[in-house]
């Protein structure tokens, strides 16, 4: 998909990347089983600040489980996740790992944006309040400041004229752009997207990908699970191919998508392209 590129300045510019800066997202030795079945089988992944990582792979390969672990919606059986060098859900205490209280886990989660396949907007709230609600609820911003930020963000995703609409009055593509603005409103260090366009009619895919691409261009750190290979080729710094709970290969799109080293990657790409 070659979505038109809207170049918008970053609302939340990142600090200049220094070599000693930790990864924006780091996953080390991630293992997860459901009912004795291993779904993540030792995942190691690092996303540097400002980079875009696109995760591809067959249905059931563990992509959503991985994203949910990064957002601490799912607890790993083994391994850990850190965000900007800070461990997620645990703290080192006298040489051992101690679980964080729920309140601190919520504070950590606020620094990670999550955009789902199904938008998940509040149906009874206006578009503006959908976006403004989270920073108000978390105490990050007062109501007037949150509404002002929400207007700015809705403008940025091309919905400045829909602030008073309700989700049901919008197309799927518009709803997903509201969901993206809502994720941005928490001023997260990284945004995770789980198949953000797979619930959309084909003609609405491009407008959502264009917004994600503009975020990428603006320097926001992104992890995007998608089957949109054209988008991956154009926007990703790193493409990760996940199969059966393992990373089979990862690298720049020109390598993974155009010269895959593994037969399973070749078979997958042949099936989706």
Q: Which residues bind Mg ion (CB under 5 A)?
A: 63-64
Cα dist from 160 to 97, 144, 152, 154, 226, whole Å = 46, 17, 8, 5, 27
Tokens, residue 166: 């309700």
Tokens linked to 183: 């994720």
Q: Determine, following the binding rule CB under 6 A, whether residue 34 of this chain makes contact with ligand ADP.
A: yes
Tell which one of 7, 16, 59, 263 touches ligand ADP (CB under 6 A).
59
Residues 179/120, Cβ–Cβ less than 8 Å: yes
**Site for ligand ADP (CB under 6 A): which residue of 61, 71, 126, 174?**
61
Shortest distance in whole angstroms from residue 203 CB to ligand ADP: 25
For residue 265, state whether it binds ligand ADP (rule: CB under 6 A): no
Among 30, 39, 212, 216, binds ligand ADP (CB under 6 A): 39
Closest CB 272 distance from ligand ADP, rounded Å: 13
Work out whether 60 is an interface residue with ligand ADP (CB under 6 A).
yes
Task: Please report how close the Cβ of residue 35 comes to ligand ADP at its closest, in angstroms.
Answer: 6
Is the Cβ of residue 195 or residue 207 nearer to ligand ADP in the bound state? 195
Query: Is position 62 an interface residue for ligand ADP (rule: CB under 6 A)?
Result: yes
Q: Any contact of residue 64 with ligand ADP (CB under 6 A)?
A: yes
Nearest C-alpha neighbor of 227 from the set 168, 269, 186: 269
Binding site for ligand ADP (CB under 6 A): 34, 39, 57, 59-65
């Amino acid at each position: 998909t070659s979505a038109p590129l809207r170049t918008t300045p970053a609302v939340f510019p990142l600090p200049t990347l220094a070599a000693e800066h930790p990864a924006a997202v780091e996953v080390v030795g991630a293992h997860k089983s459901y009912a004795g079945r291993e779904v993540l089988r030792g995942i190691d992944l690092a996303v540097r600040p400002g980079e875009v990582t696109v995760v591809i792979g067959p249905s059931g390969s563990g992509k959503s489980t991985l994203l949910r672990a990064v957002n601490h919606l799912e607890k790993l059986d083994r391994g850990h996740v850190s965000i900007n060098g800070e461990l997620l859900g645990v703290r080192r205490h006298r040489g051992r790992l101690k679980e964080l209280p729920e309140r601190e886990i919520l504070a950590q989660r606020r620094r990670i944006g999550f955009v789902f396949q199904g938008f998940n907007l509040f149906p009874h709230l206006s578009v503006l309040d959908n976006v403004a609600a989270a920073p108000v609820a978390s105490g990050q911003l007062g109501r007037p400041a949150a509404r002002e930020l929400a207007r700015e963000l809705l403008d940025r995703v091309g919905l400045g004229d829909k602030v008073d609409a309700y989700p049901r009055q919008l197309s799927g593509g518009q709803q997903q752009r509201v969901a993206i603005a809502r994720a941005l409103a928490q001023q997260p260090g990284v945004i995770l997207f789980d198949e953000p366009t797979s619930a959309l009619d084909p003609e609405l895919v491009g407008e959502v990908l264009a917004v994600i691409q503009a975020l990428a261009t603006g320097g926001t750190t992104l992890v995007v699970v998608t089957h949109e290979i054209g988008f991956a080729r154009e926007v990703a710094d790193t493409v990760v191919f996940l199969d059966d709970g393992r990373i089979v290969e990862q690298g720049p799109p020109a390598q993974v998508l155009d010269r895959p080293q593994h037969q399973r990657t070749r078979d997958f790409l042949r099936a989706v392209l």
